[in-house]
Amino acid sequence: MVLRVAVVLSCAACATLLAAQGSGTSAPPPPPLRYIALGDSFSSGEGDPPYREASNRYLPPHDICHRSYHAYPQLVAGRKSSPGTWSFWACSGAKLVDMTHPNRENPVEKPQLDRIAAPGASDPKVDLVTLTIGGNDAQFNIVWLGCLASHLASPLTGSCAGNWRAFVSAAIRRLRNGLPALFRAIRARAPNARVLVLGYPSPFPATLPRVSRCNLWFAPGDIHWLAGEAKALNGALAAAAKDAGVTYVAPSGFAGHDICSHDPWFNTITFEPSRFRGSFHPNVLGQRQLAREVLAKL
């Protein structure tokens, strides 16, 4: 009996020692990511206030980049980064030119690539760069206004696709040719980073139900055309990312949550001056889905 107790105590001591040794040699938690978030309104969180104060100034120094506390970069950083190790420079309305030149609408904003490193320099310590870019260059920021105006002016016959089709197609072709150079420039300034180029989730459904609130805003044929052009833009982004050796993140999970649905993950149209620019942009739920897509790639 005494021998059995001694064996049990000895085994218990060995287990305790092994546990202590195991805990002493366990791998430390990974360090927080050095993360830089760039891009346009889909990355800044336009339409989802509150915004960071410095990016919500209508008076001098003018800056309405509208960097939201609900935007996907903020959510990703909350999981993978920490204060002081990430920065947020996406700007509503940004175009390709604003990546390499001071922002046209917000002169206090310097070129977004300079937020990674100065021209001709690089920062090998950056772990992650995310962005959405190209939607404004493809003129989607003004096309939907033209489509809305056409339909309101003539609800039965008003259509915009004929007026804009060639213009938007040409813009997307130019983007396809220009995007690889931008993505390579990002890679040059952050040579060790994962560069994630997010596609644009379309606020418009591929097929429109017979009865839909979207019929109040757009002609059914225009809805179909807009959805097709959003797909073409994403195709250009994916091909350019492949050419440049960066990662394209296809929008997923948005099916059934378009602007015409009963459970939209996009802001509906609003004519309130302070919210107008956020129409048809991902709402808080949409930004959460974008964050999930980014996190799934890390």
Residue range 82-121, pLDDT digits in tens = 999 999 999 999 999 999 999 999 999 999 999 999 999 9
Q: What is the residue extent of each domain of the chain? A: 29-296
pTM for the predicted model, two decimal places: 0.88
Q: How far apart are the C-alpha atoms of 283 and 47, rounded to whole Å?
A: 7
The span from the CA of 89 to the CA of 36, in Å, is: 7
pLDDT band at 17 (very low <50, low <70, confident <90, very high): very low
State the pLDDT at residue 39: 98
Tell me how far apart the alpha carbons of residues 22 and 10 are, in angstroms, rounded to a whole number: 18
pLDDT at 63 over 50: yes
Categorize the per-residue pLDDT at 130 as very low, low, confident or very high, splitting at 50, 70 and 90. very high
Q: What is the CATH number of domain 29-296?
A: 3.40.50.1110
Greater pLDDT, 258 or 213: 258
Q: If we measure between CA atoms, which residue out of 134, 36, 35, 146 comes closest to residue 93?
A: 134
Mean pLDDT lowest among 48-57, 89-98, 152-161, 221-230? 152-161
- Higher pLDDT: 266 or 150? It is 266
For residues 137 and 66, what is the distance between their CA atoms, to the nearest angstrom?
19
Q: Residue 128 forms beta bridges with which residues?
A: 35, 194
- The rounded distance, in Å, linking the Cα atoms of 72 and 70 is 7
Give the C-alpha separation, 285 to 282, whole Å: 7
> 237, 179 in Cβ contact below 8 A?
yes
Considering only residues 30 and 60, tell me which one the structure prediction assigns the higher pLDDT: 60
pLDDT 10s digits, 239-289: 999 999 999 999 999 999 999 999 999 999 887 777 888 999 999 999 999
